[in-house]
Chains A and B, each alone.
Chain A
């Protein structure tokens, strides 16, 4: 069984992002970037499936700028067998990314595609669902446990009411939630080996695709800062402030 995993290069989750002075987006210059944490979980699951013998090959795919090669190196060091970079410029939208994966699926013919449930930069939570729709495949989103039995994936899903377990026929798309697994640490020897592997590169036009945006970002702004609380000296002062300053009483 072959698995494709989508990995996106995003602003590191420890970085406190700030909006550019002109409001056009988030400041990315010299900001630390890393693999989207949900994609890391997706990749870990795929690698575990291969280590269990369920899968035979794990292919990591990233769509984006040249710098996404770093993210693919991380994926190779974690245990992906191959890596493909689809160079299509930056800030692709979910439907464009899904279209890329649809083309790759036709070339690679995997039995399973795993994504993180969402990327922490755009928080769209769409690519997995859109790909399943484009391919006419089944989908199991928000996975917190995955078991492959014969030609079915038994997936526990984190839904509002609790855990819902579903069976989905392969090939299928799965999106990983936070509790699916705890990704491994990457060892030095594996990083060394990953640096020697080649990353296959494809362009959008090689896949027969062109850029087509469906959304336009009008403005990005930071949440308004909450005013700090104040300390009052007693009930009388509190009542006084509520009555006269806030006019609540």
Chain B
């Protein structure tokens, strides 16, 4: 029995969950419109930016709208403008440059910046605090509070100091209720509170299932002779096979740093596939490996991203709140970026919520948000590319990319698509096929110079989790995990997890499922890809997980 604990509660005008670009932009916009509004923002990471991981090439369209004049200010993080773009198709041996002239105009990165999105968030947080926004890193939103009418009225922060067996330790501290007229959920892809409200209010009733990818990233300090500030390189093809979507990014940032990463679409079918090892293998390609000569890896991380696009964005509004940013899913897959839409979606939500509050409203649906995003800037960004990812998923890499390119050209030249709007039928987890249909993939062993294993990688993620806390990764049915995840699917969790959290350990004739929750870097891939939806990611204690810097 859990002892009964009284929680304190506090009231605000607006409660925001998550200090990503969406949450912070919403907070800033609210205070710009009405400085008297009380706005609180929760962040589960130990500081703002600690759990932010992105490429990132940022389209400044959002920041320009939010903070006009920012370019003239000191101390902003946008130091490296994109100077050159290359798009490669990789084969096992060769690499083909796709001429920029063939690329549809919307894919151009002209005027965009290579940045650390974590540092952008740290900068936005300073802006928000200067406007009087209260930001509390180290505090998770773990529970949604509803009133009798069924509307959201706030969130509860996580308890601290709970022991593994559920008892309260000596320094136990109960969570707190943060009540707001409106709650904005900006937890990023597959947020746990967003998942709950989407299910409760059936917000995804009329859209395609959301689709996801896993992005893995490393930060390297490279030899200055190979460094070319502002060079942006993308690739597709090898090492992924024809029927697996994904590709790489490699961005030259300031300070001789290179941000290199790999995205694998989580609709892959082969349970033997390991996104982590595909990434490691990618770096060994003859067209890539050279720039890492004499370089050192300084950071590693991974995070799921939403990829469904236009047709997978759920209804954003529910009584008492709004989904913002990737908690809804505004990533533009062919442009390989979404943070600009996250900023814009936070702003749209803030503008309508501020008006509603000014009219004395609370805990209701703010309909204007739903009506405006599809016809506004975000919609105009996502609509023309809506078929690119479905075409890729349906026709494989080569044909799919050609059709996708053709479709984007049609959109650019004639403003229409031959394909209408292609929908997704299944979730990513349902796309996984039984192991007997596939052959195991043999990945090369790491050389510990250019390629690494998971444990030496997460060492660079600065992870912390309390030893004696309840496991935050819940297996709903333990038997099912062995009967299906292991026996039918060959234990894909040991491969899709980028942090070596899951293990199947042999004990005599039996296999035991071991969950090394302390390794978790909060990417949420298990919650998305487990074939039976049997793993649930929940928030551990506030302030835990990775501490990314410059990521």
Where the two chains meet, the residues of A that have a C-beta atom closer than 8 Å to any C-beta of B are: 12, 14-16, 18, 21, 30-32, 34, 182-185, 187-189, 191-192, 195, 228
Contacts and interface: CB of A to CB of B under 8 A. Distances in A.
Contacts of B550: 30
Given A16-B459, A21-B221, A30-B119, A188 B176 contact: yes
B455 to A, nearest CB: 12
Contacts of B176: 187-189
Summarize B's interface: helix, strand, loop or mixed.
Answer: mixed
A176 B494 CA distance: 42
B549 A15 contact: yes
A14 B173 contact: no
A18 B550 CA distance: 13
Contacts of B122: 30
Contacts of A183: 171
A15 B462 CA distance: 5
Contacts, number: 55
22 contacts: A14-B46, A14-B462, A14-B464, A14-B547, A15-B549, A30-B116, A32-B46, A32-B549, A184-B173, A185-B161, A185-B171, A185-B173, A187-B8, A187-B173, A188-B10, A188-B157, A188-B176, A189-B8, A189-B10, A191-B136, A195-B134, A228-B448
A183 B157 CA distance: 20
Interface residues of B, number: 31
A31 B49 CA distance: 11
B139 interface: yes
Contacts of A18: 298
B378 interface: no
B47 interface: yes
B160 interface: yes
A205 B448 CA distance: 51
A32 B161 contact: no
B100 to A, nearest CB: 32
Contacts of A195: 134
Given A12-B547, A31-B549, A32-B46, A184 B171 contact: yes
A14 B46 CA distance: 11
Nearest to B118: A30
Interface string B202-224: 00000000000000000001000
Nearest to B446: A228
B298 A14 contact: no
Contacts of B10: 188-189
Nearest to B548: A32
B165 to A, nearest CB: 18
B134 to A, nearest CB: 7
Interface in B1-30: 8, 10
For the complex of A and B, the 5 pairs showing the least CB-CB separation, nearest first, are A185-B160, A185-B173, A14-B464, A30-B549, A14-B462
Given A32-B547, A195-B134, 6 more contacts: A12-B547, A14-B463, A15-B462, A16-B460, A30-B119, A32-B50
Contacts of A32: 46-47, 50, 462, 547, 549
Contacts of A15: 462, 547, 549
Contacts of B459: 16
Contacts of B139: 188
A31 B549 CA distance: 6
Interface string B149-185: 0000000010011000000001101001000000000
